[in-house]
Amino acid sequence: MATKEVIVNWPAGNAGPEADPDEVPVTEKDTKIRWVPGANVASVDDIGGLPDDEFTQQGQIGNGKYQVVDKNSIKKDYPYTIHATQAGGGSGSQDPKIRNGG
């Protein structure tokens, strides 16, 4: 089972977090996608908008990380929302995407 990591940063002056990469290419079935706090991010609190028939929402896995499992059964782009907490307090969101079928 492959694992893809997405670093969630919150650049100074931004109203919300940013995902790196902004688009996650998934080519293998049952790929773990893990969002990891980066610069100025205390925790990745939730990933919203992913359909349950394609993604298993595992949730927080410690150290501010959040993880889902992508079944990669349908070739399609999936937009989602990252909800994160900034290191200095405050929260925000961003809307990147996952590309199934690579």
Long-range pairs for 21-25: beta carbons < 8 A, 24 or more residues apart: 21/96, 22/96, 22/97, 23/96, 23/97, 23/98, 23/99, 24/96, 24/97, 24/98, 24/99, 25/99, 25/102
Q: Which amino acid is at 30?
A: D
Mean pLDDT of all residues in 3-24: 94
Kindly list the structural domains of the chain, giving each domain's residue range(s) and its CATH number in brackets, ordered by start: 3-100 (2.60.40.420)
| pLDDT tens digits for range 22-80 | 999 999 999 999 999 999 999 999 999 999 999 997 899 999 999 999 999 999 999 99
The pLDDT, as a whole number, for residue 92 is 81
The pLDDT, as a whole number, for residue 67 is 97
The pLDDT, as a whole number, for residue 102 is 55
Contact 26, 72 (CB under 8 A): yes
